[in-house]
Amino acid sequence: MTKIKFGTDGWRAIIAQEFTVDNVARVSVAVAEWVVRNHPGNTRIVLGHDCRFAGELFAQTCAKVFVSRGIEVHLAQGFVSTPMVSLGAQRVQAGMGVILTASHNPPSYNGYKLKGIHGGPLIPEEVQQVEDMIPDAHGVDLDAIDLAQARKDGLLKHIALEDMYVEHVEKSFDMKAIRECGMRWGYDAMYGAGQNVVRRLLPDAALLHCDYNPSFMGQAPEPIHKNLQEFSALIKQGGIDCGLATDGDADRIGLYNGRGEFIDSHHIILLLIHYLVKYKKFTGKVVVAVSTTPKVKKLCEHYGLEYSVTKIGFKWISGLMITEDVLLGGEESGGIAIKGHIPERDGIWMGLTIWEFMAKSGKTLDELIQEVYAIVGPFAYDRNDLHISEALKQQVLKNCAANAYTRFGDLEVRRLETIDGYKYHFDDEQWLMIRASGTEPVLRCYAESGTMAGAQAILAACKQAIGA
């Protein structure tokens, strides 16, 4: 019997090993019981899947379990993104939203994410409640459950999540300005779930990897530069002013300037705050994960905004977004949410916000970044994912916990943050963070300096210090 655990963002496992019909059914039994217990007058679940292998099969498995418990299932037709399911859960006021996705994980994985009635990740305490309720065996005769009959009985309904999302975008953005500003947009779906929506919203955009391919051509659909070489090369050919990439379930953003240079999430977060406050006159608190640049705090101080730091995992940010007046919540991984939308990461929404900023200002992305630099100063960031042995990983974490690292290369540690992982602060606003991934068997190392060469030197010093 597999022990099923929800990590940083959902339960993820390799298809046909641990991610099986039986295990999906076990989780679904717990979800159903939790909804019945916690939303007795509202036993509805919005259900969808992304582009991954066997998504439809696993979604049908969930649906069978849910209807067997008398739950009204609102099932999306075809693949959908995570933000679409979250929006649907909020609009339908469903006791739970479920999307079958492994987000940015390699193609061999699938996963199971839980969404709350508020339109964002289920809060950590509630996720733990579901996990604690997962039975050793599901006890459901799946073959005996007829979904066609459930549809006739009104327990299974189809929900047009893509239409709902497109309508929400059209009402929330100046799409006319974005479409007619004279700038050309590029979009790399990474074979993920954002492809149909962007094709509908921006038919004239330059589209890449907007085809159905459950194997993602063997590439993990994570929108970081090393995975987006083809997209970068396309932009470098000229004619594209800004490029947007999203991950497998379209909740994370990757961004490129008109020269095909990758713009990391730290810069995106700063650009969004700058646009929302200075140009759109929004207010509210900024909440970021501990792996995010300290420049965010600097910008918040400039604009008089409250600022707080959370553990890594958007579920920690989402919890604050539903109880407080939050302008922006963001993570280093490219998961960002802003006021005016749901408390959920949404790569397409963030991309459209940046494009609206460019369209309405008439400025290039580089020019807008210079506006931010004028306030917080220039900086560069890089990350290294170390695929090391479990033994070495545990030793490094043990050393971190024992304060064994007092310097990295020429840099002396001045301050250590331990909110989540280990964030070492040096002089000149430089820092290094070491943390074990919550979704993959890797050790993540993050670094920031005044230049890219400086950030990479810190990562090299880190690698040497830990013996990797």
Distance CA 286, CA 405 (A): 31
Coil/strand/helix, residue 56: helix
Tell whether the model's pLDDT for residue 265 goes beyond 80: yes
User: Phi-psi category of 32—alpha, beta or left, where left has phi over 0 and alpha has psi -120 to 50?
Assistant: alpha
Last residue of a domain, one of 346, 376, 406: 376
**Cα torsion 335, 338, 341, 344: sign:** positive
In a domain, 1, yes or no: no
Q: What is the tally of structural domains in the chain?
A: 3
Give the pTM: 0.94
Question: Any idea how long the chain is?
Answer: 468
Could you report the per-residue pLDDT of 289-339, keeping only the tens digit for each? 999 999 999 999 999 999 999 998 888 898 899 999 999 999 998 999 999
Helices (H), 246-294: 265-274
Domain housing 387: 380-466
Nearest-5° Cα angle at 115, 109 to 119: 135
DSSP-assigned beta bridge partners for residue 443: 386, 436
On whether the CB atoms of residues 62 and 48 are closer than 8 A, the answer is: no
pLDDT value of position 315: 85
Last residue of a domain, one of 323, 345, 376: 376
Last residue of a domain, one of 136, 164, 192: 164
Query: Does 215 share its domain with 361?
Result: yes
Query: Does 26 share its domain with 136?
Result: yes
In a domain, 4, yes or no: no
Coil/strand/helix, residue 145: coil
Could you report the per-residue pLDDT of 328-385, keeping only the tens digit for each? 999 998 999 999 999 999 999 999 999 999 999 999 999 999 999 999 999 999 999 9
Query: Does 391 share its domain with 447?
Result: yes
Tell whether the model's pLDDT for residue 253 goes beyond 80: yes
What b/e readout covers 86-113, taking b as 16+ CB neighbours within 10 angstroms? bbbbbbbebbbbbbbbbbbbbbbbbbbb
**Cα torsion 291, 310, 252, 249: sign:** positive
- Domain harbouring 108, CATH code: 3.40.120.10
Single-letter amino acid, residue 220: A
Query: Does 343 share its domain with 401?
Result: no
- Domain harbouring 407, CATH code: 3.30.310.50
